[in-house]
């Protein structure tokens, strides 16, 4: 049996759907191969069909199909990410709504309570000031702190709950200061300013620590601060400060009031290095400001000097027999110690003739000379400092690192000396400056670089 195999070899391609009749114009060859099969070769004359382009289109179609699938996968992936982002956005929106509603729920109420407490604090300080009928750095400082706290409350009201802890801490500190003021109110002076109708010091109040010196330098251990003991009109509230790393006296800064002192906003600084082309620097730490004039110990020659901060002029006057051999217990170069009280201005020193015992001199302010001198029995080097109140010298000494004691007095009105024991607390052990100011009846101490003050309580006359 013979099988017929038809093999079409398309030399010039024809359309697959073309009918047999259309092939008539071509030629067909036939033959039998070695296996007895019939093989036919059909040759088409039409060469217009673009077979190569169809093949390219098929390849491009396959590549495009693959690319579409890749893009579809990307879209599916982006869709998944979009779902996640929409979910996170919904959570974020919910959190923002909570934050927006939070202040109405808890912060607003808390801040309103803080404002109520501040008003109570202010009323308490006002009542305290009225009952005492005086102005003091402690009370002024409390007013400033209350005012600053009010500003802080306003600024932080829009913030989160954690800021309330900061305010609570500050409120706790403020509360303690108010309580301390209430506890110490019995230590405020009971004598009229400028009057000596009392029986002397009964006790010294607790130390009121303002802050580190205006240079904000713990190394500035030597210096002093305070108020003008005889202020010019308009300068009643003026404060001053001078400090350095050693006992050199080279500069003094003035502040309009206590608040400006604390804020380190001085309005005038005077340098003693070149005053009228001359070096007017001094030494020691026991200077005072009186009638806008700095009284201090001059270096060369060793003498008392004064620098008028109004006219910017200086002069010195040698103190007869005064020596540089005997300084106070705490610090060197404290040989001339100036003081002021209700009765005028004073200076203490030691002489070789007195064998180092303390000598007290009253200064005539017009002539800038000693008008009267008293010899005491107390050895100067055993004394840590002195101050004057109503013509009475008060000498101090150290009891321990936390306690100071007024142990000796000399009354120039009666020419009498006494041994007493009036103890008071120190902020820190080392101090170089201690003076009384008759304009507010307070003691001012420069204690290891810090501003410290004390209220004085007097005995009834």
Do the beta carbons of residue 270 and residue 312 sit within 8 Å?
A: yes
Q: Map out the domains of the chain with their CATH numbers.
A: 1-49 (no CATH), 52-184 (no CATH), 191-458 (2.120.10)
pLDDT of residue 209: 87
Do the beta carbons of residue 176 and residue 182 sit within 8 Å?
A: no
Strands (E), 259-343: 268-271, 282-290, 293-298, 303-308, 313-317, 337-341
- What is the H or E stretch that residue 117 is in? helix 108-132
Half-sphere exposure for 340 (CA within 13 Å, toward CB): 25
Tally DSSP H helices, then E strands, for the chain.
Answer: 5, 24
Strand partners, 236: none
- CA gap 252, 372 in Å, rounded: 29
Peptide bond into 165 cis (omega under 30): no
pLDDT of residue 308: 96
- CA gap 155, 203 in Å, rounded: 43
| Long-range CB contact pairs, 144-153, < 8 A, 24+ | 144/259, 144/262, 145/174, 145/177, 146/118, 146/121, 146/122, 146/174, 149/118, 149/174, 150/115, 150/118, 153/111, 153/114, 153/115, 153/118
Mention every residue, 6+ apart, whose C-beta is less than 8 A from residue 448: 218, 221, 427, 428, 429, 430, 431
- What is the H or E stretch that residue 30 is in? strand 27-32
- CA gap 50, 157 in Å, rounded: 81
Evaluated on CA atoms 164, 165, 166, 167, the torsion sign reads positive
Greatest pairwise CA separation for the chain in angstroms = 166
- CA gap 27, 41 in Å, rounded: 8
pLDDT in tens, the chain (461 residues): 444 444 444 444 444 444 444 444 445 566 666 666 666 665 555 555 566 666 666 676 677 777 777 767 666 665 565 555 555 555 544 544 544 454 444 455 556 666 666 666 666 666 656 655 555 566 666 667 666 666 666 666 655 555 556 666 666 666 666 656 555 555 666 788 888 999 999 999 999 888 889 998 889 999 999 999 999 999 999 999 999 999 999 999 999 999 889 888 999 999 998 888 889 999 988 899 999 999 999 988 999 999 999 999 999 999 989 998 888 888 888 899 999 999 999 999 999 998 999 999 999 999 999 999 999 999 999 999 999 999 999 999 999 989 999 999 999 999 999 999 999 999 888 899 999 999 999 999 999 999 999 999 999 87
Do the beta carbons of residue 345 and residue 313 sit within 8 Å?
A: no
- What is the H or E stretch that residue 88 is in? helix 51-102
Give the other-Cβ count within 10 Å of 230's Cβ.
Answer: 18
pLDDT of residue 2: 42
Q: Which of 446, 453, 459 is nearest to 222 (CA)?
A: 446
């Amino acid at each position: 049996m013979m099988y017929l195999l038809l093999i079409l070899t398309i030399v010039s391609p024809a359309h697959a759907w073309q009918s047999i009749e259309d092939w008539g114009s071509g030629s067909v060859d036939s033959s039998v191969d070695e296996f007895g099969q019939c093989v036919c070769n059909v040759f088409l004359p039409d060469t217009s069909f673009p077979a190569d382009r169809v093949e390219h289109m098929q390849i491009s179609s396959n590549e495009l199909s693959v690319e579409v699938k890749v893009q579809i996968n990307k879209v599916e992936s982006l869709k998944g990410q979009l779902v996640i982002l929409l979910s996170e956005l919904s959570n974020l929106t919910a959190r923002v709504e909570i934050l927006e509603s939070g202040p109405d729920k808890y912060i607003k109420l808390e801040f309103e309570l803080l404002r109520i407490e501040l008003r109570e604090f202010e009323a308490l300080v006002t009542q305290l000031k009225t009952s005492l009928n005086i102005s003091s750095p402690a009370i002024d400082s409390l007013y400033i702190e209350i005012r600053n706290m009010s500003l802080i409350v306003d600024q932080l009201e829009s913030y989160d709950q954690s800021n309330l802890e900061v305010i609570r801490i500050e409120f706790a500190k403020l509360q303690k200061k108010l309580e301390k003021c209430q506890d110490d109110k019995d230590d405020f002076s009971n004598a009229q300013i400028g009057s000596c109708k009392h029986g002397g010091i009964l006790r010294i109040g607790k130390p009121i620590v303002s802050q580190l010196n205006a240079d904000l330098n713990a190394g500035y251990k030597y210096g002093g601060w305070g108020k003008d003991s005889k202020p010019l009109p308009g300068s009643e509230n003026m404060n001053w400060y001078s400090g350095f790393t050693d006992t050199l006296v080279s500069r003094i800064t003035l502040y309009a009031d206590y608040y400006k002192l604390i804020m380190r906003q001085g309005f005038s600084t005077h340098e003693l290095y070149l005053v009228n082309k001359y070096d007017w620097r001094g030494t020691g730490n026991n200077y005072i400001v009186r009638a806008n004039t700095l009284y201090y110990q001059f270096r060369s020659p060793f003498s008392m000097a004064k620098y008028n901060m109004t006219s910017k002029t200086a002069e010195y006057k040698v103190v007869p027999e005064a020596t540089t051999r005997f300084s106070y217990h705490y610090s060197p170069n404290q040989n001339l110690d100036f003081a002021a009280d209700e009765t005028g201005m004073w200076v203490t020193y030691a002489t070789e003739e007195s064998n180092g015992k303390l000598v007290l001199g009253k200064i005539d302010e017009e002539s800038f000379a000693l008008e009267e001198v008293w010899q005491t029995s107390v050895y100067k080097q055993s004394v840590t400092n002195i101050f004057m109140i109503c013509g009475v010298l008060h000498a101090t000494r150290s009891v321990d690192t936390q306690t100071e004691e007024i142990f000796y007095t000399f009354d120039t009105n009666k020419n009498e000396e006494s041994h007493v024991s009036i103890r008071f607390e120190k902020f820190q052990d080392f101090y170089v400056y201690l003076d009384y100011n008759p304009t507010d009846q307070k003691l001012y101490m420069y204690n290891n670089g810090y501003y410290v003050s004390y209220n004085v309580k007097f005995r009834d006359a």
